[in-house]
Amino acid sequence: MYMKSVEIPEFEIIKNVELPARESALIIVDMQNDFVKEGGRLRVPTAEATVDNIRRLLDKARGNNVLVIYTQDTHYEDDPEYKIWGEHVKYGTWGWEIIDELKPDLDRDIVIRKTRYDGFYGTPMDDILRIYNIKYLVIVGTVANICVLHTAGSAALRWYKVYVPMDGVSALNEFDYYSSLRQISFLYRGVIVEGVDGIKFTVTSG
């Protein structure tokens, strides 16, 4: 066995973007106790550092009547994915619940339970976005190279324009973090934004 390191190619990062509120959605990926909190079964150490950033973006989205969708990774007894990761986010457990700091407002937000990495796979995500005439997706959450990347990729393959604020996603290590952002930028032509504060939702009358 030997060790090898590689450099991640450069990708563009923009500081500010304005998106039309009516045609935009905020997708919050898998911000659940098992992934974020101490004692979680698959905790991402950097995930908690993104919570306040995501909260600010969530408040901004709600304040501008932007559609907010949560994905909630959901597994059941003897789920095949346990063979890869061990038991995690099992339905009905504390670990499965979305963290208190980002709790959905069930009167206005939409929660989509997914059983695979991809938020579109086997879910009504695409149908919901089309019902609301959404064109632009701001994606935050965890894990960058797994559920965030697969969801962003599926969105791009359906011709949604994807925006990812760098301080709103987390990964298990630095390589996974930066390589995921580069993949979203290069392969899916997503837009990498420096931070959540650089995202503005514009509201037009009529």
Q: Which of 148, 68, 149, 155 minimizes the C-alpha distance to 109?
A: 68
Amino acid of residue 162: V
Q: Is 15 a catalytic residue?
A: no
Q: Which residues of 150-160 are buried (b: 16+ CB within 10 A; e: fewer)?
A: bbbbbbbeeeb
Q: Is 30 a catalytic residue?
A: yes
Which one is catalytic: 30, 34, 73, 118?
Answer: 30
Q: Is 114 a catalytic residue?
A: yes
- The string of DSSP codes covering 125-161 is HHHHHHHTT--EEEEEEE-IIIIIHHHHHHHHHTT-E
Taking the C-alpha atoms of residue 113 and residue 70, their distance in angstroms, rounded to an integer, is 8
Which one is catalytic: 34, 73, 147, 167?
Answer: 147
149-157 vs 174-186: helix crossing angle, rounded to 10:
0
Which one is catalytic: 114, 118, 161, 167?
Answer: 114
Active site residues: 30, 114, 147
